Structure 1
Amino acid sequence: MQAIGLIETRGLTPALEALDAMCKAANVKLVDFKRIGSGLVTVIVEGDVASVAAAVEAGVAAYARTGGELISSNVIPRPHPDLAKMLY
């Protein structure tokens, strides 16, 4: 795993919109989709650093078009192996 990208949103439908844009924009793979509670949803993708960065940027832009509330987005290049254990 070279990089992890995360987008946290409020609402399932806008999160799916962001995920669709992320997967179409770059060569990334869905790692996990977590419903945290209180309507918070986190989408996690992995791939090479440039692809993950492009995917997160596309996901944030797609989410902005829905008019929803974006909580956070992040790209983690070269994550520590223990982080991967926590996510999977």
Structure 2
Amino acid sequence: MNTIGMIEINSIAKGIETADIMVKAAEVDLIISKPICPGKYLILIAGDVGAVNSSVEAGIENGRQYIVDKLLLPRVHPQLFNAINQSTDIGGVNAVGVIEYYSIATAIVGADAAAKAARIQLIEVRLGIGIGGKAFVTLSGDVSAVNEAVEVGARIGRENGMLVNKVVIPSPTKEVFYKLI
């Protein structure tokens, strides 16, 4: 699994149908298939680039006018899957970075770019659930690495007008840090 595919749909019924079609279209792993805010449906798959591409194309064909956004991202950073699944193992921390986006697809691309830019640990990539359809990335590491990663991830959002905000918190309190994980 080195490629992520995503489709965001503005109909829950059509989203469920599209997820089924996408999984039947190619050998992919269904990572996320569920309703998100505000009343949309998110489908996230992973696999080899050819299979993910075929699956996303089948989803686009089925979803047509209901599609809000789509993404095909090959050669993703290995940390991305655990961060999306909220199963990251974090040790100590020197700094925390948070990048907030208006777009789920942009958050995925931004998290991937941030992880590739510096020696950081992705903590979580939260995708539109319970946060009004927005998305955010949390990451940790040394202050300089977190600053670099946050700048790279924020640039992705800024380039297409999807960045809400970004912060770097040096030496976060244990109470705040442990609420993130």
TM-score class, shorter: 0.7 to 0.9
- 1:5 aligns to what? 5
- 1:39 aligns to what? 39
- Distance, in Å, in 2 between the alignment partners of 1:57 and 1:72 is 13
Between 1:54-63 and 1:78-87, the stretch displaced more is: 78-87
Alignment of 1:1-88 (within 5 A): 1-64=1-64, 68-88=65-85
Q: How many residues align?
A: 85
| Unmatched runs of 5 consecutive residues or more in structure 1 | none
Residue type of the alignment partner of 1:81 = P
Which has more strand, going by share of residues?
1
| Unmatched runs of 5 consecutive residues or more in structure 2 | 86-181
- In the superposition, the TM-score normalised over structure 1's length comes to 0.86
Superposed CA RMSD in Å reads: 1.3
List, as ranges, runs of 4+ consecutive aligned residues in structure 1 with deviation greater than 4 Å.
none
- Distance, in Å, in 1 between the alignment partners of 2:24 and 2:35 is 22
Residue type of the alignment partner of 2:63 = Y
CA contact (8 A) 2:16 2:33 kept: no
Q: Percent identity?
A: 34
